[in-house]
Homo-oligomer: A and B are copies of this chain.
Amino acid sequence: MCEANAYLQSNDQEVLLMESVDIIEPYEEGLKLVDIFGRQKFVKARIKDMTLLDHRIVLEETAEDDGDPSVSKTSSMANVERG
């Protein structure tokens, strides 16, 4: 069987999203995944990397609509004075 596992990469972490994926196709702003049992998942992501021999599909969140709390905009305000 040549199905693959789909991982969702988010903030440098990979989370197993779906096992035994058979079908992948674009769906609206993301992807539709269907596993070998016919179960479907819709995810707002795009394919980042795919290695079929490793049975491995890495998806990358597109995350356009949710407010991302992980983004902290701390700008380092160190003012270095030059002599």
Contact = CB atoms under 8 A, between A and B. Distances in A.
Nearest to A60: B26
A47 interface: yes
A25 to B, nearest CB: 5
Interface in A45-74: 46-53, 55
A3 B52 contact: yes
Interface residues of A, number: 20
Nearest to A33: B50
Contact of A53 (B22, B47, B50, B53): B22
A36 B4 CA distance: 16
3 closest A-B pairs by beta carbon, nearest first, are A2-B2, A24-B50, A25-B49
